[in-house]
């Protein structure tokens, strides 16, 4: 399953190209009771309802492949009679018209969907006539196959917020009537999977809104698939392993973690010349772990704990390097480094400017301050007194009236040298 496969399905879910034939569903209250079931011919819905349901179906094809959207495979036992794959196949082939199968499916979801509150289970039946494409992406007027599939969306239903509104019947402003609103789905799936523009009955596409919680119980008990971690969960687990190993021995754990991710990014991301090509995913191996830890001088017990943690937690599912990278954190860290570098450059330039300006008043052998007439050329009279002092002394200069004459007073320490018009002067 690729991003192109997902987009091909998603772009069809509009009023013009939509071929969804049937919609079924079950509304469940917070006590896990079935409040109502629905069964509709999709194209017969009123436009307002049609577009709302269509939008809910599109949400199950949104997000990032590998994070919000994952392809899950069925174990062999689930493809045998009585298995979950056969169960879903039966619902699909019935065209959502077998009420007994639908009730069993609703019961499964109700039992294993971990949510406190009301929710709506929706099932869509669609058939996509997959048009043949040439190698350069041009469509031909003939069909490769008909992709016949189910789309399920599980949507939380919440009470609208209290507020004031215009009550037309009473012609007054009063408390708005609160009602139950169907929200965007937080869990869903498509069966079978759409992979390489073809149906794959041995797997399905699983959707999860909150990538920090992939709902493994739902995956295993409702869908019959082995649970997989999202990219976000893999990143969080890897970060936890590194921090637990380094925190007892190092104070710069966050900086080291960012450094490891930068190394992963260099390995996983393509060169600039290949930026338009889809890079092959790089899997985290033991050799890569050893290489990156050595690069960042992580040795001894800390390295051993990290390698053992990765081996233990990712034994069944070695992660893709890209999943272990927090791109936003790396971008923020890169900006921070650039700002620090710029501040350092500014400080160096200020120092160079101060040194050059101070040396410009060095008169050499003549003992006179050069007069290049710049002030006169600018229409300003040349100053009678020109004073150059190191920046660190400038703050101590003050003006005083001495014997009725305005004077500048410059404090001078015993060990400080004074030079007036290029001539060393004793004070």
Q: What does the DSSP assignment read for 187-213?
A: EEEEESEEETTEEETTEEEEEES-TT-
Distance between CA atoms of residues 189 and 182, nearest Å: 18
Kindly report the pTM of this predicted structure.
0.74
Report percent pLDDT > 70 for the chain: 87
Which of the four pLDDT bands, split at 50, 70 and 90, describes residue 264?
Answer: very high
Q: In percent, how much of the chain has pLDDT > 90? A: 56
> For residue 364, what pLDDT is reported?
45
pLDDT band at residue 138 under the 50/70/90 scheme: low
Q: Categorise residue 32: left if φ over 0, alpha if ψ from -120 to 50, beta otherwise.
A: left
Sign, CA dihedral 83-87-88-89, equals positive
pLDDT at 375 over 60: no
**To the nearest whole number, what is the mean pLDDT of the chain?**
87
Sequence-ordered list of residues with C-beta below 8 angstroms from that of 90, at least 6 positions apart, any chain? 98, 101
pLDDT exceeds cutoff 60 at 25? yes
State residue 304 phi and psi, 5-degree precision: -65, -45
pLDDT at 360: 59
201-213 mean pLDDT: 96
Q: Is the peptide bond before 192 cis (omega within 30 degrees of 0)?
A: yes
Which residues, 6+ apart, have CB-to-CB distance to 368 below 8 Å? 421, 422
Give Cα separations from 406 to 45, 287, 381, 402 (angstroms): 93, 78, 20, 6
Q: How far is CA 335 from CA 64, 331, 338, in A?
A: 25, 6, 5
Which pLDDT score is estimated for 136?
58
Q: For 238-267, what is the HEC assignment? A: HHHHHHHHHCCCCCCHHHHHHHHHHHHHHH
Integer Cα distance of 356 and 404 in angstroms: 37
Q: What is the pLDDT of residue 369?
A: 47
Span 105-121, pLDDT tens digits = 999 999 999 999 999 99
List Cβ neighbours of 211 (8 Å cut-off, separation of 6 or more): 63, 67, 68, 230, 231, 232, 233
Encode 56-84 in three state secondary structure.
HHHHCCCCCECCCEEEEECCHHHHCCCCH
Going by pLDDT thresholds of 50, 70 and 90, the confidence category of residue 206 is very high
Task: Read off the DSSP letter of residue 283.
Answer: B
Q: Mean pLDDT throughout 369-395?
A: 63
Using the predicted structure, report yes or no on whether residue 176 has a pLDDT greater than 50.
Answer: yes
| Residue 422, CA distances (Å) to 277, 382, 408, 413 in order | 67, 19, 20, 19
- The answer on pLDDT for 293 being more than 60 is yes
Which of these, 131, 103, 126, lies nearest to 54 by C-alpha position? 126
Burial of 115 (0-12, 13-18, 19+ CB in 10 A): middle
Q: Pick the closest to residue 358 from 395, 393, 384 (CA basis).
A: 393
- pLDDT of 239 > 50? The answer is yes
Q: What is the mean pLDDT of residues 64-77?
A: 94
412 Cβ neighbours under 8 A, 6+ residues apart: 418, 427
Q: What is the mean pLDDT of residues 207-216?
A: 95
SS3 133: strand
Q: What is the mean pLDDT of residues 190-215?
A: 95
Check residue 373 and report its DSSP letter. -
pLDDT value at residue 366: 43
Lowest pLDDT segment from 152-156, 198-202, 227-231, 378-382: 378-382
**pLDDT of res. 391:** 74
Is the confidence at residue 177, as pLDDT, over 80? yes
Cα-Cα end-to-end distance for the chain: 85
Q: Which of 6-20, 353-367, 383-397 is predicted with the least confidence, judged by mean pLDDT?
A: 353-367
- The reported pLDDT for the residue numbered 81 is 92
């Amino acid at each position: 399953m690729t991003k192109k496969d997902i987009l091909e399905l998603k772009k069809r879910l509009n009023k013009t190209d939509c071929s969804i034939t049937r919609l079924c569903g079950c509304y469940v209250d917070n006590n896990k009771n079935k409040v109502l079931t629905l069964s509709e011919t999709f194209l017969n819905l009123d436009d307002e309802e049609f577009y709302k349901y269509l939008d809910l179906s599109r949400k199950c094809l949104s997000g990032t492949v590998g994070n919000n959207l994952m392809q899950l495979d069925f174990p062999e036992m689930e493809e045998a009679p009585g298995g979950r794959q056969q169960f879903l196949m039966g619902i699909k082939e019935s065209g959502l018209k077998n009420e007994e199968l639908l009730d069993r499916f609703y019961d499964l979801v109700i039992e294993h969907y971990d949510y406190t509150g009301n929710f709506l289970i929706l099932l869509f039946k669609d058939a996509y006539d997959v048009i043949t494409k040439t190698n350069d992406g041009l469509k031909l007027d003939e069909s490769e196959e008909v992709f016949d599939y189910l789309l399920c969306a599980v949507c939380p239903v919440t009470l609208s917020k209290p507020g004031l509104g215009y009550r037309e019947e009473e012609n007054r402003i009063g408390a708005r009537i609160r009602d139950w609103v169907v929200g965007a789905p937080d869990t869903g799936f498509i069966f079978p999977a759409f992979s390489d523009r073809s149906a794959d009955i041995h797997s399905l596409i699983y959707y999860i809104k909150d990538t920090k919680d992939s709902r493994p119980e739902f995956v295993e008990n409702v869908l019959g698939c082995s649970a997989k971690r999202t990219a976000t969960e893999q990143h969080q687990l890897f970060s936890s392993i590194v921090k637990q190993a380094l925190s007892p021995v190092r104070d710069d754990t966050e900086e080291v973690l960012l450094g490891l991710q930068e190394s992963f990014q260099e390995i996983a991301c393509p060169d600039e010349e290949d930026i338009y090509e889809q890079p092959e995913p790089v899997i985290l191996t033991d050799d890569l772990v050893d290489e990156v830890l050595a690069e960042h001088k992580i040795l001894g017990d800390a390295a051993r704990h990290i390698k053992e943690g990765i081996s233990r937690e990712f034994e069944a599912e070695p992660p893709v390097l890209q999943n272990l990278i927090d791109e936003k954190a790396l971008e923020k860290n890169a900006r921070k480094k650039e700002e620090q570098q710029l501040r350092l450059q500014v400080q160096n330039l200020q120092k160079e400017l101060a040194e050059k300006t101070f040396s410009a008043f060095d008169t050499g052998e003549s003992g006179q301050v050069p007069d290049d007439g710049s002030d006169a050329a600018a229409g300003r009279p040349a100053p009678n007194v020109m004073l150059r002092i190191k920046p660190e002394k400038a703050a101590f200069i003050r003006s005083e009236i001495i014997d009725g004459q305005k004077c500048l007073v410059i404090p001078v320490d015993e060990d400080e040298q004074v030079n007036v018009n290029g001539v060393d002067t004793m004070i």
